[in-house]
Every structure is written in structure tokens, then in C-alpha cells.
Structure 1
Amino acid sequence: MNDITFFQRFESDILAGRKTITIRDESEAHFEPGQILRVGRYEDDGYFCTIKVLSVTPTLLSVLTDEHARQENMTLEVLRDVINDIYPGVTQLYVIAFEVVSA
């Protein structure tokens, strides 16, 4: 069983180290630094790697920066659009920084 899932379109960026954060809503703010998580694809829950949580930081949609976008491997405009599609109307978010420990 996987602990966290990502849309399949992000799998290659995660495995290549181009995506090093994920921005989630309150329902996934319970992760803690040092925690090791099995990662699966959202679409089929297929395992594809294991990550270590480095930090969990509360933030607001309105204060996301180009640095957040870089860590997500997208532009800030695209990042805001993706977040609005996944979490419509949500402004309180959590930045989960991670590193891949095995693939």
C-alpha cells in the first residue's frame, strides 16, 4: 500500500529529481520530516519510488513564488492553475519537500 500518490504525469520529474516538493491541502498536512513514504501513481496506485519527507511548511496560495514553481518543475502560472484545478477554492496549503531514496 502506498502512503502518498502523485498524478502519473509527475512520475518522471520526481524520479529525475526535477520535482522536489508537492503542495497539498490540509488532508495531507500530517506528514513529518524524516518520514519515509511509499509513492504511487494516483491513477492506478502503482508503486514507483520511496521518498523521505524533508519538511512540511504551511503556506498560502497567494504567496507561492517562482522558487516553488521551480521546485515543482513548472512556471508559477501553471503551478497556480494546477493547484486551483486540484483544490478549487482552497487557499491554505502545505509545501512538502522531499527527496527520492529509492526507485
Structure 2
Amino acid sequence: MAPNDITFFQRFQEDILAGRKTITIRDASESHFKTGDVLRTGRYEDDVYFCTIEVTGTSTVTLDTLTDTHAQQENMTLRQLRTVIEEIYPGQNQFYVIEFKCL
């Protein structure tokens, strides 16, 4: 079986498959993805494949420049988004937005 290119926490799988989550915000270690990339997607907890996505856009963002639009694309409130980002990437402020669609 081919390895996954990107992983998401299992709690986000349903939203991704339903098209409710259309971006992911990552740190510099995952800043290499570019528009047009087709990625095998797995669950972070067990690396089990669950879908293939296509990167439709990329941009940079800081905690202070996150907007309600980013939160909507993540299917959460802006407060929830900032909290999740701070929990996953404590002490960091520069992030990379990866826009995607399920194929």
C-alpha cells in the first residue's frame, strides 16, 4: 500500500469527507505543498488512508491574521480555530494554509 502524503486528526475525517472542512493550517514542516498536488490522506492516529485530496491553493497566515473565513473553512468558530492551532503548535505564529477538495 502506498504511504499517505498528509494526515489529519481522526476527529476531522467526517468533516473532510462531507466537504465541510476545506483547508488545513500547518507549520513550516508541511509548507512544501503546492496548488495541483494530489495527496493520499490518512488519519494521524493510525495512518489509515481515508481519501485523496487535491490542493487548490496555498497561503501564509499568523494567529493574528486568522479570519472568520478561515474558521468557516475549518468548520469551527474563530475562537475554536485559534485554540486548536495553539494546542497543536504551541509557541508558533507563522502558518501555512492549504486549501483542498476531495477527489
TM-score by length of 1: 0.97
Pairing 1:44–2:43 present: no
* Residue type at the aligned position of 2:58: V
Structure 1 residue 75: deviation in Å? 0.3
Deviation by residue 1:20-71 (Cα, 9 ceiling, x = unmatched): 0000001000001000000000000000000000111011111100100000
Unaligned ranges ≥5, structure 1: none
1:12 counterpart residue number: 14
Q: CA–CA distance in 1 between the matches of 2:67 and 2:60?
A: 14
| Larger CA deviation: 69-78 vs 55-64 | 55-64
1:31 counterpart residue number: 33
Unaligned ranges ≥5, structure 2: none
Secondary structure at the residue paired with 2:36? coil
1:62 counterpart residue number: 64
Aligned residues: 101
1:92 counterpart residue number: 94
Extract structure 1 runs of 4+ deviating beyond 3 A: none
Secondary structure at the residue paired with 1:32? coil
